[in-house]
Chains A and B, each alone.
Chain A
Amino acid sequence: AQSVTQPDIHITVSEGASLELRCNYSYGATPYLFWYVQSPGQGLQLLLKYFSGDTLVQGIKGFEAEFKRSQSSFNLRKPSVHWSDAAEYFCAVNYGGATNKLIFGTGTLLAVQP
């Protein structure tokens, strides 16, 4: 079955520290891959996406993600976290086809300590 896994439910980092959020996808074919961020009570904001080409993708707010086919992973990174980065982060996949169904992971809640 098509699925996406975010192993870490909750992560706490100190402000200024580096961050890596994990995402793994199932299924044989390479899907289209996305990272979204959601602040409390807000909608979803797209951070970055991958569909082909360079496996290191740059996004907004200083985030980047690397697609690793051998590990079926698409981990999100940021070299130095800011307090305003505290939010829920969702990895999502789309395996294409006629319906373009976007499937979300369970999310990782990021807390930032001063």
Chain B
Amino acid sequence: DTEVTQTPKHLVMGMTNKKSLKCEQHMGHRAMYWYKQKAKKPPELMFVYSYEKLSINESVPSRFSPECPNSSLLNLHLHALQPEDSALYLCASSQDAVGYTFGSGTRLTVV
């Protein structure tokens, strides 16, 4: 299996809702990432997990809460989001500096 699987593909949520994005890989990669991509902009790094430990938080608001339950799974818990948080959320994994694999993303709309 050489893929990163993200679910759901689309999500619409209200500002008072709690939802979660899921990312899964079975390549044995040691690092997993969350990126946020607004329309017509490049992906921006949010979080990095290395060996299931949070190693980078790019000053992301606390309404985004990452979780890495095991080496294959990465979640992003969402709570009290704002409309400006609407974006494409991309998950990626890597074993080293050159072996990145991206998922197809979750398109999030906050209403």
A106 cross-chain contacts in B, Cβ below 8 A? 41-42
Interface contact B104-A102, CB-CB below 8 Å: no
- Which residue of A is nearest B100, CB measured? A102
Known contacts A100-B31, A102-B45, A107-B42; is-contact A49 B98 (Cβ 8 Å)? yes
- Which residue of B is nearest A107, CB measured? B42
Interface contact A90-B100, CB-CB below 8 Å: no
Contacting B105 at CB < 8 Å: which of A32, A36, A43, A51? A43
Query: Which stretch, A61-69, A74-82, A91-99, touches the partner chain B?
Result: A91-99
Contacting B97 at CB < 8 Å: which of A51, A103, A107? A51
Task: Give Cα distance in the complex from A22 to B61, angstroms.
Answer: 34
Task: Give Cα distance in the complex from A88 to B45, angstroms.
Answer: 18
A88 cross-chain contacts in B, Cβ below 8 A? 40
A interface, size bucket: 20 to 34
Interface contact B90-A99, CB-CB below 8 Å: no
Task: Give Cα distance in the complex from A58 to B85, angstroms.
Answer: 37
- Which residue of B is nearest A6, CB measured? B42
Q: Does B102 contact A (CB under 8 A)?
A: yes
- Which residue of B is nearest A31, CB measured? B97
Task: Give Cα distance in the complex from A43 to B105, angstroms.
Answer: 6
A109 cross-chain contacts in B, Cβ below 8 A? 40
Interface contact A99-B55, CB-CB below 8 Å: yes
B103 cross-chain contacts in A, Cβ below 8 A? 43
A86 vs chain B, min Cβ distance (A): 15
Question: 15 more A-B contacts (CB under 8 A) besides A99-B50, A105-B42?
Answer: A32-B97, A32-B98, A34-B100, A43-B88, A44-B43, A51-B97, A94-B97, A98-B55, A99-B55, A99-B56, A100-B94, A100-B96, A106-B41, A106-B42, A107-B42
Query: What are 12 A-B interface contacts by the 8 Å CB criterion?
Result: A32-B98, A43-B105, A49-B98, A94-B97, A96-B97, A98-B55, A99-B50, A102-B92, A103-B45, A104-B42, A106-B41, A106-B42
Nearest 9 pairs between A and B by C-beta?
A: A104-B42, A43-B104, A44-B102, A96-B97, A51-B98, A32-B97, A43-B105, A94-B97, A100-B97
